[in-house]
Structure formats: C-alpha cells, structure tokens
Structure 1
Amino acid sequence: MKHTLFFLLYFFTAFFTLHAQDVRPLGIALENFDYPFPVDYIQLELQGEPLKMAYMDVQPEQANGKTVMLLHGKNFCGAYWEQTARDLSEAGYRVIIPDQIGFGKSSKPVDLQYTFHLLAQNTKKLLDSLGVDKTSVLGHSMGGMVATRFVLMYPEVVDKFILENPIGLEDWKVKVPYHSVEYWYEQELKKDYESIRQYQLQSYYDGKWQPKYDRWVNMLAGWTLSPQYPRVAWNAALTYDMIFTQPVVYEFEHVEAPTLLIIGQRDRTALGKNWVSEEVKQTLGNYPALGKATAEKIPNAQLVELDNVGHLPHIEAYDKFIEPLISFLNE
C-alpha cells in the first residue's frame, strides 16, 4: 500500500512538473502568445490614459453579409474562439473577436474604474471603426455580462443575441459577503500553475481533464512568471469587483433581440462560493435552474441544454455547441 501511494504521489508530481515546465513567461499584452488570426488595434483614451484595444477580424471567403461578434470570458482571451470563428467564417459570417481592455493582448491600465457600460462602449467604438452597424453578439462567461450590457445599450445594432454559460444569471452580492479590491489583488498574486489548473479542473471541467485545456492554463500561468504580473493581477482584481457589484440579472426582460441560451448543465460556477455556508453554497451556480429562469425572463428566447457539459461548451463539447449556434444564426 505504501508503495502504491508513493507511486501515485510520484506520478502526479511528475505530471504537474512536466506541464509546469511547458509554461513560459508571457508579456503583459501576451506579446509572445500566438493568436490564430492577425491582431489589430484601435486606440482609446479612457479616464485620461491612452490604451490599445486588440481585436481579430476574420473575413469569410464567401460572405453572407452578416457579422458575429464573440466576447470572451474573464480567464480567457479572444484566441479561445479559434474553431468557432473558423466554422462561422466558413458558413459565410464575418467574425469580430475583441480582447476587452484589461484582457489578452489589450492594454492593462495603471488604474481604471471598470464598468460593463465602459466595456460595452469600447466594443461599440470598435464596431464603429470597422463600419459595422449590425451584428449578432455571442458572450461566454463574463463575456455574457458584457454582451448583455451591450445588447441593452445598443439594441439597434444587435441582430441576434447568444449567451453561452454566462455568469451574471444571479446576483451574488445578495448572498455572498463583499471583499475589497485589495483582497482580490492579494488572491491574484498567490496564483501559480497548479492553483490555476486546479481551479479550472474543478470549476470548469468537473474533475475531467483533457490535454486541449492545457493551453489556457499555460497562458494564465505564464503571466504569473512575468515581472509585469502585478499590473495584470491588479486589473484582474478590479474586474472581479465589477462582476460582483454590477449585476445584469434584473434587466433581461428588456432584451429585444432574438436570443439563444446554450447552457452546459454540469456548470456550477458562482463567485464567492467558498465564502458562504454549505447550505447557501448549494443555492449558487445552479445552471440548469438558472438557464430556465433566464429563458423565461427574455421575451424571445430559446434554451438549449447540454447534458454532461460544464462551463465551456465551445471548448469541452464543441460539436454540441456549434450545431445549435449555426442553426440559430441561420434562422
């Protein structure tokens, strides 16, 4: 028994060490992290600071005249939409993929008062710079909150609205105690490869790991090895505060666009679950219930429930994700 336990300990230590060795320091704007398509930038001045917003603009070979905009989640960047963008482009859609300010290859401000209104406004400026006056909008995770705010602010621009396992389907601050930006910053500074992987393993994939997930752990872990990581961590802390204090759940009834909800049923993501009692924890992040409730709130909504799929359908179960998406866009 002792030999077996020793072997298992050795195996897992070797496994984590092997993959941790794949991690290399990354620049503050992911300068040495490859994106699948050419990256361009628009210039913004926000609260007195000049900033750059990165984006990819994927043009189809045979255009159908329609555009889809893909909005990333908090622990990701536009690059994780690669396969989605390729298939949408093949179907004739122009695909625009921004990195929000504070994320990916976009600028990391010295200090910014983050709001979803600001991120939505930045996104509208990007579309204006590209001459896009109508688009479908797809948001995943935190991108779902950005997308919701965008749809509410600019309904005349939105053709169709898609939410893929968005956060913000409930108001965490009514159950979870508030923590300061300084607290979030301290937590971010503690992160490393193993803690990031463990969080994603449990929160996103329900303990079931596949090699294709490594790239997104390595990206975040690469930042922790950068001498500029404190700036990245500070922006991450500010955006956590934005997520916690700026719910969109009370405004779904005002969404005008035809809407598709793609909800992985195994997802239990919720901000601050570890700060509440076990009894309260059981009431948070119940995506099967949240998906149904949200579909009822949005006037013209369809709900697609993906059994045995977690927080990232377009990464974990791509075929189950892309089929209803393209079907909805083609309606």
Structure 2
Amino acid sequence: MQATTATTLREQYVSVAGFRLRVLTAGQGPTVLLLHGFVVSADDWIPTIQTLAAAGFQAIAPDALGFGASDKPGGAAYTLRRYADLNAGLLQSFGVERAMVVGHSMGGKHALATTILHPQRVERLVIADSEGFMQLPLFMRKGGALPFLGEALVSLSAFPFVVRMQLRAAFANPDRYITPELIARGTATLGNPEIRRTMVSLSRYYDANDLRGSGLWSRLAEVTQPTMIIWGAEDRLFPVRCAYEAKRMLPHARLEIIPNCGHFPMIEAADQFHRLLLEFLR
C-alpha cells in the first residue's frame, strides 16, 4: 500500500441530501471549503488545496452540483439556497462544525449564500472575482427560458474558437496560460450534454441563482464574519468595479486588488493569491 502524507490529494464521492458530489481533499487542521466557478470543477483549486494542506489546513473542494463529476439533475434543482444547503451538509458529512469558506466567481456567490443561510457554519469568508455584483447579459439570464435559444447559445460556446475567445477574456496575460490542452479541455467540458443541460437550467431559473432574484442581496448586511475580497485588476469578465460594489455591500471586508491579473487570481497570480489567503486565514 502506498504511504500517504498530510498533503496527499484525495478524491472521493459523498452523498449529501440525496445528491452524489465529487470532492477533493487534503491536509489536516482547520477546515477551508473551496467553491469553484462556473462550468469548471474543483480541479481548478488543486494548487490551492496543496498549498493549504502544506500550511496546516484541511482543504475540502467539491465539484458543485451540475458540474465536474458531481450529479447533474437538471431542471429547477439549481438554486442558491440548494447550493448553500449542500455546502453546509457537506461540512456536516465531514464532521466539521465551522469552516473558512473561499469562493471564486460563481463559487463566490455560493459562498455568500452559505454564509447568510448557514452563518453558524462559516468562520471566515473569502470571495475572489465573485459573480453577483453586476447584471449579466440578457441572453445569459433568459436564454434558457426561450425555446431552442438557450441550447443554441450553449452549443455555440463549445466551438474551439469560441472557447479560445472566452479564455482570452479570462486572463490578463492569455498567451502565457492558454495552451492547446486547455482549449481542448474547455471544448470537451462545454461539449458535454449534461454540462450544457446544467447551463440551460441555470439560465432558465436564473432568478433563483441570483443574489437579487433570490432575495439574498438585501441580506448581505448579515455577513459579519471576517471577510476578504480579492480581485484581478484586469478581470474582463467581472470588471474591477464589481470589487468596489462588493466592498460597498460588505463594508467591513478587506479588499485586495491584484495588478496585472485577470479572472483567475489563484492561477495567474498564484503566489500573491496564496500569500493573501494564508495571511487572512491564519
């Protein structure tokens, strides 16, 4: 049998509220729950998981319902409240009473919902380039509600040249990070019929996944846990003005803007992101 260490990355499947979730874990110590962004998976957090484990934390990173290798029930299953309940249930399944919660992009919105709806579970909060602080284009909010339009738009997004365009918008220095392998992975993900069904469902039931539409926007003032907002200064998906809107809604939060960085600070500015994260969590 191969020996394991505290920093060994482990993959397992956990049943929460009747849904099967893929979860990556590593480390021992205070727990950090890592919530990924739209379309991607917990794999985006692997360097962060390893960094946290080496620093004496237990990192838990699930594939969100509808993404990665977790269940994809479709329909009206995807709501901010359900994601919050699943995050709280996942912590309970690991025997964790309270955790520090880190959310990127869509995961930032899920982290906020978890903090509002299950405050007893959240000790500290970090949101990075978070969704929820700007209005998305109409076709993203309503495309799934119109016959054939949602599926047509989602199908278009899977073409390699469209994947390349989306990735170029995600990085301040795209030529350094965009590889043929990354484009191929993005094309395969967006070409997956189940992932596409998730995307259409999220559009069709957008209000239930929106901070404002779900009624959680007016409750952001209930977030009193120590909070840090991290943002890439060159984020073209959720521009840096969204960071200042997040700061306005979470006035006690610490705001850190990372220069020469796009939408994925844990990838494009990994050293600075991890330094800020560890400093804050400690």
TM-score, with structure 1 as normaliser: 0.73
Residue 257 in structure 1 maps to residue 225 in structure 2: yes
Q: Is the 8 A contact 1:173 1:244 kept in 2?
A: no
Counterparts of 1:211 and 1:308 in 2: how far apart (Å)? 13
Tell me how far 1:286 sits from its aligned partner: 3.4
The equivalent position to 1:327 in structure 2, one of 275, 279, 282, is: 279
Counterparts of 1:51 and 1:303 in 2: how far apart (Å)? 35
Q: Which residues of 2 match residues 28-43 of structure 1 at below 5 A?
A: 37-43=9-15
Q: Which residue of 2 aligns with 1:205?
A: 171
Q: Which residue of 1 aligns with 2:198?
A: 235
Counterparts of 2:41 and 2:206 in 1: how far apart (Å)? 17
Tell me how far 1:43 sits from its aligned partner: 2.2
Over residues 221-272 of structure 1, what are the superposed CA-to-partner deviations in whole Å (9 max), with x where a residue is unaligned?
12456xxx32321112212445566432443222121100001111131xxx
Q: Which residues of 2 match residues 1-331 of structure 1 at below 5 A?
A: 37-44=9-16, 51-60=19-28, 65-172=29-136, 178-181=142-145, 182-190=148-156, 191-201=158-168, 203-206=169-172, 208-211=174-177, 215-223=181-189, 229-243=192-206, 246-248=209-211, 249-269=217-237, 285-287=238-240, 289-330=241-282
| Aligned CA-pair RMSD | 2.5
Q: Which amino acid aligns with 1:90?
A: A
Tell me how far 1:108 sits from its aligned partner: 1.8
Counterparts of 2:115 and 2:268 in 1: how far apart (Å)? 27
Counterparts of 1:293 and 1:252 in 2: how far apart (Å)? 12
TM-score, with structure 2 as normaliser: 0.85
Q: Is the 8 A contact 1:252 1:294 kept in 2?
A: no
2:85 partner SS: helix
Q: Which amino acid aligns with 2:246?
A: T
Counterparts of 1:174 and 1:253 in 2: how far apart (Å)? 27
Moved more, 185-194 or 311-320: 185-194
Counterparts of 2:84 and 2:171 in 1: how far apart (Å)? 29
Q: Is the 8 A contact 2:12 2:22 kept in 1?
A: yes
Counterparts of 2:45 and 2:141 in 1: how far apart (Å)? 33
Tell me how far 1:142 sits from its aligned partner: 0.4
Tell me how far 1:322 sits from its aligned partner: 1.1
Tell me how far 1:219 sits from its aligned partner: 2.4
Counterparts of 2:205 and 2:115 in 1: how far apart (Å)? 18
Q: 1:296 to 1:125 in 2, by over 3 A?
A: same
1:160 partner SS: strand
Q: Which amino acid aligns with 1:198?
A: M
Q: Is the 8 A contact 2:171 2:262 kept in 1?
A: yes
Moved more, 158-167 or 108-117: 108-117
Q: 1:192 to 1:71 in 2, by over 3 A?
A: same
Q: Is the 8 A contact 1:254 1:298 kept in 2?
A: no
Counterparts of 1:213 and 1:329 in 2: how far apart (Å)? 32
Structure 2 stretches lacking a partner, 5+ long = 1-7, 212-216
Q: 1:212 to 1:180 in 2, by over 3 A?
A: closer
Q: Percent identity?
A: 24
Tell me how far 1:158 sits from its aligned partner: 0.7
2:257 partner SS: strand
Counterparts of 1:264 and 1:167 in 2: how far apart (Å)? 13
Q: 1:71 to 1:192 in 2, by over 3 A?
A: same
